[in-house]
């Protein structure tokens, strides 16, 4: 990724704080939100709304792609019933943004909006989008940018709750591959990321309890056990949590 983009995103987390960043909301963003509210008030046909968003989501301009993701978030807040009705279209656009090849802001906005949308639809009817979202979110758990890591942990925790029977085996394998990241970021340099990681770790703990896959017989598992104990030296409550959930 372009270093300039990382510098843009590499600022305090856009999560409940009184940071100056929140005061820097662009006029474009403000008028965009107003514009979409007016569209809903005028009851403009949703097909037209989605057509416009689909065009913007694939526009060469990163700013337009970013605003398309943000507008989908506005829709989720303003018209959750409509988003549930057209969830396949919404999810397709958000996953497209999540895999944006060049712009971190588009990816970040997609994750934040996905968190909103998944909450509104309660993870129902995700279909194969569940795989697409999980695979990309997992790669962002170790990103150098605090905001991206935070949003990735929040979203990954949601996915743990919505895996269900259909995706249980798949998500278990993903948690296994993510285990080191979950443990390491319990001590993340950013306290908000560490807190989000802890919440996600608890959500993922049922997937770590499957004895057939997590018997800790391999060399890799033995190394992980040592890592657990090293972390527990600094956080005794973690070791207690492992034993209580039969992870060790």
For 41-54, the pLDDT digits (tens) are: 455 566 678 788 88
- Residue 211 sits at φ, ψ, to 5 deg, of -60, -35
The ranges of the chain annotated as CATH 1.25.10.10 are 34-208
Q: Could you tell me which residue, 72 or 222, shows the higher pLDDT? A: 72
CATH code of the domain occupying 34-208: 1.25.10.10
Report whether pLDDT(236) > 60: no
**Which of 1, 132, 4, 109 lies closest to 57 in space, CA to CA?**
109
Express each pLDDT in 9-18 by its tens digit.
444 444 443 3
DSSP string, 206-230: GGG--TTT----SHHHHHHHHHHHH
Q: How confident is the model at residue 185 (pLDDT cuts 50, 70, 90)?
A: very high
- Name residue, tokens 């492992």: 242
Confidence grade of residue 227 (pLDDT, cut at 50, 70, 90) = low
- pLDDT tier at 83, thresholds 50, 70, 90: confident
């Amino acid at each position: 990724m372009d270093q300039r983009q990382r510098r843009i995103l590499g600022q305090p987390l856009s999560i409940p704080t009184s940071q100056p960043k929140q005061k820097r909301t662009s006029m474009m963003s403000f008028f965009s939100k107003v514009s979409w509210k007016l569209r809903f008030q005028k009851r403009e046909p949703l097909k037209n709304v989605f057509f416009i968003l689909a065009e913007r989501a694939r526009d060469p301009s990163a700013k337009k792609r970013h605003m398309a993701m943000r507008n989908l978030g506005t829709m989720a807040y303003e018209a959750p019933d409509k988003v549930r009705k057209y969830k396949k279209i919404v999810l397709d656009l958000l996953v497209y943004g999540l895999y944006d090849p060049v712009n971190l802001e588009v990816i970040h906005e997609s994750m934040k909006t996905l968190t909103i949308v998944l909450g509104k639809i309660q993870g129902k009817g995700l279909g194969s989008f569940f795989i697409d979202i999980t695979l990309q979110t997992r790669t962002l758990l170790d990103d150098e940018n605090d905001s991206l890591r935070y949003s990735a942990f929040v979203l990954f925790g949601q996915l743990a709750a919505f895996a269900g029977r259909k995706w249980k085996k798949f998500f278990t394998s993903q948690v296994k591959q993510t285990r080191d990241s979950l443990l390491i970021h319990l001590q993340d340099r950013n306290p908000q990321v560490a807190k989000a990681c802890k919440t996600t770790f608890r959500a993922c703990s049922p997937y770590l309890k499957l004895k057939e896959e997590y018997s800790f017989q391999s060399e890799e598992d033995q190394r992980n056990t040592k890592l657990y104990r090293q972390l527990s030296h600094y956080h005794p409550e973690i070791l207690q949590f492992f034993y209580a959930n039969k992870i060790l």
